[in-house]
């Protein structure tokens, strides 16, 4: 049976990194809705043109449109896949059910304080947008970009109040979502704390042990 996986995890949980590695390891197609949207816009596809209209107006791209993009992507696809960035709430999960037979939901569990610490220590370059981290990826000279010598700053998105609010919203929306997959018996909770390799091994083990 082909794995049809949705990956759930808070912003800053390391979800994107793990998604890529898992797909490489298991030979799955990674479907990142963020990438799908950007690609559709770049290629001026009919859905891409519509999406661009919303984005240019500073509006959220409607779920129906994102579902349309996923559907297009799935139609030409052979084998298993992993969805990253969708669904984000119960309504989206129900919509997804109409176009795909999801058989595994991995929830990456990371303590809120750890996520806050990870994100608020990020610094970005004003000139080239390179992203650093005060501890995990420091610059050679404090507050100066290694690449271009530009000045570093903290993006508003990375400030503690903004991160806390984002996590609160995430929790509120994700709880019903994890319950939805739990009730179906396909939810796998994985401890997302620790080194990237460590977490990856944990996910891989859980996926391999999972019985459909």
Please name every residue paired with 191 in a beta bridge, in sequence order, or none if there are none.
Answer: 109
* The one among 145, 167, 186, 203 contacting Zn ion by CB under 5 A: 145
* The one among 11, 16, 80, 150 contacting Zn ion by CB under 5 A: 150
Cβ atoms < 10 Å from Cβ of 3: 18
Among 23, 18, 16, 9, CA closest to 196:
18
Residue 109, H or E segment: strand 104-109
Stretch that binds Zn ion, among 42-50, 86-94, 108-116, 129-137 (CB under 5 A): 129-137
- Asked if residues 83 and 31 have their Cβ atoms less than 8 Å apart, the reply is yes
Q: Could you give the CA distance from residue 37 to residue 159 in angstroms, rounded to a whole number?
A: 26
147 binds Zn ion (CB under 5 A): yes
Q: Which of 94, 126, 137, 155 is catalytic?
A: 155
Q: What is the nearest approach in angstroms of Zn ion to the Cβ of residue 187?
A: 41
Q: Which of 21, 121, 164, 166 is catalytic?
A: 166
| Choice between 150 and 194, CB closer to Zn ion | 150
* The one among 19, 96, 100, 125 contacting Zn ion by CB under 5 A: 125
Tell me if residue 131 falls in helix, strand or coil.
strand
Residue 67, H or E segment: helix 63-75
Q: What is the nearest approach in angstroms of Zn ion to the Cβ of residue 160?
A: 24
Residue 123 a catalytic site member: no
Footprint on this chain of Zn ion (rule: CB under 5 A): 125, 127-128, 130, 145, 147-148, 150
């Amino acid at each position: 049976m082909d794995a049809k996986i949705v990956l759930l995890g808070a912003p800053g949980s390391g979800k994107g990194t793990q998604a890529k590695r898992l797909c490489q390891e298991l030979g799955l197609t990674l479907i990142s809705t963020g990438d799908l949207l950007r690609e559709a816009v770049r290629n001026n596809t009919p859905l891409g043109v519509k999406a661009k209209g919303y984005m240019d107006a500073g509006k959220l791209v409607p779920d129906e449109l994102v579902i349309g993009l996923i559907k297009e992507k799935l139609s030409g696809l052979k084998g298993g896949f992993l969805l990253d960035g969708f669904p984000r709430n119960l309504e989206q999960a129900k919509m997804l059910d109409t176009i795909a037979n999801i058989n595994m939901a991995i929830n990456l569990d990371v303590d809120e304080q750890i996520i806050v610490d990870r994100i608020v220590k990020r610094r970005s370059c004003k000139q080239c947008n390179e992203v650093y981290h005060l501890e995990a990826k420091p610059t050679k000279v404090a507050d100066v970009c290694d690449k271009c010598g530009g000045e570093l700053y903290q993006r508003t998105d990375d400030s503690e109040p903004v991160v806390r609010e984002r996590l609160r919203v995430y929790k509120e929306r994700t709880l019903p979502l994890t319950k939805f997959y739990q009730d179906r018996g396909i939810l796998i909770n994985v401890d997302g704390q620790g080194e990237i390799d460590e977490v990856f091994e944990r996910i891989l083990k859980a996926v391999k042990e999972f019985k459909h």
